[in-house]
Homo-oligomer: A and B are copies of this chain.
Amino acid sequence: MSIQGGCWQSLLRVNLTDRSVRKEKIEDDVLRKYVGGALLADKLLYDELSPGIDPLGPENKLVFFAGPLTGTRAICASRMGVATKSPLTGTICNSFSGGYLPVELKYAGYDMVVIEGASDEPVYLSIKDDKVSIRSAEKLWGINALDTQIYLKEELNDQSCRIACIGPAGENISLISSIINEQRAMGRKGVGAVMGSKKLKAIAIRGTQTVPVANPEMLQAGVAEFTKALKDSPFAYPVFSHVGSSSAVDAAQAVGVFPSRNYTDTGCQDYSSIGPEALAEYKVRRNNCYGCPLGCSQVRMAKTGRYAGIATEGPEYETLYSFGSMLGIKNPEFIFAMDRLCDELGIDSISAGVTISMAMELYEKGLLPGTEGLDLTWGNEDTIARLVRMMAYKEGLGEMMSDGTRIFAKKLGNGAEKYAMHVKGLELPAYDPRGLKAHGLNFATSYNGADHNRGYAFQEVFGMPFPYPVERLAIKGKGILAKFNQDFCGTYDVATLCEFPTQLAMPHNAQEVVAMQLTGATGMEFTKDDVWALGERLNNLNRMFNVREGFSRKDDTLPERFLKEELKDGLSKGELITEADLNAMLDEYYEVRGWDANGIPREDKLKELGLI
């Protein structure tokens, strides 16, 4: 049976060194096993990237991908991913955003665009169906990531194309720079620096075709299930559609895990001024992604004072942490301004804020030599705003900080690593692992470094009893739970569906529903177990990639602070994850994963998954 009648499209390979462009068919057997999304993209990188390559060299590749459901009538499927070897972590990495861009990619006839080589001069890539060209971006270089989209549309005389691009941070090869599309970010792991190293300023995509679907009735049946789950969910419309991801501030505050001041006083502060109720007052509108009935993305605007009129699509929960609680900031309007600024500069708002938080703690402790007259007291808005720009432009102290906490510590060289809150170089997201053990274990073991979306412990954060009720603070069972969550997240990374509705509305049946949709869209039969296997395959394939790069158990750890300093207050008071706790969880995790004691996948597991 040929499977090319379904939703799958072609692969576009663009080499910036020799300026060649090639449209390729993806082989049936590859599609059958790797299906789509992150799994298909990561498989390509696994096969095509030699071990040990420089992530910023022309031999690295940058893969933009949509998923098998994107551009069909599936809902919540407009996800754009980017895969590459991360210059921040040295691991393989995937970073995602939403909006309209991924649909254009599919409408143009592609599942993936593989960027190879590097240009000497700034260029952008224009994709209009089969018309693909590499053009000079000399007149866009330096322009911020929001304006770039405006000017490039003018240049192309095409207001309807959608664009992904880097800002100054990516151009300046900051290792915490992002790729921006619309007002959304493929934010983490330095993907912007990879794009910058290739001198690729932007990709503009416009598609005019439709995505064929093998069995529309089956797809529609899956979509109906998803739609019903959203309607039935106590989170989806009542909370998420209303206040978006800011809702997590309340959830995290409630259990004492909303990190504050570089994790020195998590649980001790009241951050309700930047919580969902407070933020609702600033909401101007929703900006739904294509085909999303929820629209969790909120445009908020400062109303008065110094930041009056500054609007941003956000801030998401993570930025309320990184530019809020982590910096001792309780003024939401300032966070709006920083959220917007990070998008303009194309810098990851999580990593940027966490790195500033580290600098502020060092300053407080007298460990920061040379602040160039800046007062880095917690909560100093002017200093924070100044530092963000200095990081994007690598000026003075900003140069030291522009590659995240790990390299900042290395450059300081005075034992500052103790204050660098990262795993494998990736700054921690907004969950104090001391109060969320499975989430912590996920940070330690995720193929991306400390990534909340690749193994989100929704049982611990929101108390959702799926697949069974979970004791938040227990150690035992968390290896099993972390595997469950990571493989669950693989479901939406392969599909590619949005994590929020998939996890929040279908914690009990996502795999069944996705199986129906994949079957309908592709024409290939999927069961719930097949979908689970996709998630497991993704986590094992990427582990193999990382093992090949030298990663092993020694790297599956957490910042020292979590192992030694107890949480001081709140519902998780007294908690930490001791070295023994971590080892116990790792042992259980490796065991259930079918990996050896050093965290290397065993042959039988790889065979079972068809990876060897």
Of the candidates B144, B284, B304, B305, which one forms a contact with A309 in the assembled complex, judged by CB atoms under 8 Å apart? B144
Do A287 and B154 touch across chains, with their CB atoms under 8 A apart?
yes
**Listed stretches A6-14, A69-77, A389-397, A475-483; interface member:** A389-397
Chain B residue contacts of A299, Cβ below 8 A? 143, 151
Instruction: Tell me whether A392 and B144 are in contact in the complex, defined as CB-CB below 8 angstroms, given that A139-B284, A151-B285, A151-B299 are known contacts.
Output: no
B-contact bits for A480-503, CB 8 A (1 contact / 0 none):
000000000000000000000000
Instruction: Tell me whether A309 and B392 are in contact in the complex, defined as CB-CB below 8 angstroms, given that A142-B303, A285-B140, A301-B143 are known contacts.
Output: yes
Do A311 and B143 touch across chains, with their CB atoms under 8 A apart?
yes
What are the nearest 5 A-B pairs in CB distance? Answer: A139-B285, A159-B159, A159-B160, A168-B309, A144-B309
Chain B residue contacts of A154, Cβ below 8 A? 287
Kindly provide the distance from the CB of A103 to the nearest chain B CB, expressed in whole angstroms: 13
> How distant is the Cα of A410 from the Cα of B311 in the complex, in angstroms?
34
Chain B residue contacts of A301, Cβ below 8 A? 142-143
B-contact bits for A304-319, CB 8 A (1 contact / 0 none):
1110111100000000
> How distant is the Cα of A18 from the Cα of B381 in the complex, in angstroms?
47
Chain B residue contacts of A306, Cβ below 8 A? 386, 389
CB nearest to A155 among chain B residues: B285
Chain B residue contacts of A285, Cβ below 8 A? 139-140, 151, 155
Contact of A320 with B by CB under 8 A: no
Contact of A512 with B by CB under 8 A: no
Instruction: Tell me whether A309 and B167 are in contact in the complex, defined as CB-CB below 8 angstroms, given that A154-B287, A285-B140 are known contacts.
Output: yes
Q: A167-B309, A306-B389 are in contact. List 8 more A-B contacts (CB 8 A).
A: A142-B284, A142-B301, A142-B303, A143-B299, A143-B301, A147-B311, A151-B299, A308-B389
> How distant is the Cα of A305 from the Cα of B392 in the complex, in angstroms?
11
Do B151 and A309 touch across chains, with their CB atoms under 8 A apart?
no
Chain B residue contacts of A167, Cβ below 8 A? 309
Contact of A80 with B by CB under 8 A: no
Contact of A345 with B by CB under 8 A: yes
Chain B residue contacts of A333, Cβ below 8 A? none
Contact of A344 with B by CB under 8 A: yes
CB nearest to A142 among chain B residues: B301
CB-contacts of A142-168 with B (<8 A): 142-144, 147, 151, 153-155, 159-160, 167-168
> How distant is the Cα of A155 from the Cα of B287 in the complex, in angstroms?
9
> How distant is the Cα of A167 from the Cα of B280 in the complex, in angstroms?
22
Do B309 and A393 touch across chains, with their CB atoms under 8 A apart?
yes
> How distant is the Cα of A140 from the Cα of B301 in the complex, in angstroms?
11
CB-contacts of A258-284 with B (<8 A): 284
Kindly provide the distance from the CB of A288 to the nearest chain B CB, expressed in whole angstroms: 9
Instruction: Tell me whether A309 and B389 are in contact in the complex, defined as CB-CB below 8 angstroms, given that A151-B287, A160-B160, A299-B151 are known contacts.
Output: yes
> How distant is the Cα of A475 from the Cα of B159 in the complex, in angstroms?
52
Do A142 and B309 touch across chains, with their CB atoms under 8 A apart?
yes
Kindly provide the distance from the CB of A135 to the nearest chain B CB, expressed in whole angstroms: 13
> How distant is the Cα of A369 from the Cα of B308 in the complex, in angstroms?
25
Kindly provide the distance from the CB of A143 to the nearest chain B CB, expressed in whole angstroms: 6
Most chain B CB within 10 A, of A284, A309, A310, A386, is at A309
Give the size of the chain A interface in residues (CB under 8 angstroms).
Answer: 34
CB-contacts of A388-408 with B (<8 A): 389, 392-393, 395
Chain B residue contacts of A153, Cβ below 8 A? 159
B-contact bits for A46-61, CB 8 A (1 contact / 0 none):
0000000000000000
12 contacts between A and B (CB under 8 A): A140-B284, A142-B284, A143-B301, A143-B311, A151-B285, A159-B160, A160-B160, A168-B308, A304-B393, A306-B386, A308-B392, A309-B345
> How distant is the Cα of A139 from the Cα of B298 in the complex, in angstroms?
11
> How distant is the Cα of A548 from the Cα of B442 in the complex, in angstroms?
77
> How distant is the Cα of A606 from the Cα of B139 in the complex, in angstroms?
52
> How distant is the Cα of A299 from the Cα of B141 in the complex, in angstroms?
12
Chain B residue contacts of A168, Cβ below 8 A? 308-309
Kindly provide the distance from the CB of A339 to the nearest chain B CB, expressed in whole angstroms: 13
Chain B residue contacts of A345, Cβ below 8 A? 309
Do A284 and B389 touch across chains, with their CB atoms under 8 A apart?
no
> How distant is the Cα of A468 from the Cα of B107 in the complex, in angstroms?
62
CB nearest to A392 among chain B residues: B309
Chain B residue contacts of A147, Cβ below 8 A? 311
> How distant is the Cα of A306 from the Cα of B155 in the complex, in angstroms?
28
> How distant is the Cα of A377 from the Cα of B140 in the complex, in angstroms?
36
> How distant is the Cα of A386 from the Cα of B304 in the complex, in angstroms?
12
Kindly provide the distance from the CB of A340 to the nearest chain B CB, expressed in whole angstroms: 9
CB-contacts of A206-239 with B (<8 A): none
Chain B residue contacts of A311, Cβ below 8 A? 142-144, 147
B-contact bits for A330-371, CB 8 A (1 contact / 0 none):
000000000000001100000000000000000000000000
Chain B residue contacts of A143, Cβ below 8 A? 284, 299, 301, 309, 311
> How distant is the Cα of A443 from the Cα of B200 in the complex, in angstroms?
50
Kindly provide the distance from the CB of A395 to the nearest chain B CB, expressed in whole angstroms: 7
> How distant is the Cα of A147 from the Cα of B150 in the complex, in angstroms?
11
> How distant is the Cα of A527 from the Cα of B256 in the complex, in angstroms?
82
Most chain B CB within 10 A, of A301, A304, A344, is at A301
Kindly provide the distance from the CB of A98 to the nearest chain B CB, expressed in whole angstroms: 13
Kindly provide the distance from the CB of A12 to the nearest chain B CB, expressed in whole angstroms: 23
Chain B residue contacts of A142, Cβ below 8 A? 284, 301, 303, 309, 311
Do A308 and B393 touch across chains, with their CB atoms under 8 A apart?
yes
Chain B residue contacts of A151, Cβ below 8 A? 285, 287, 299
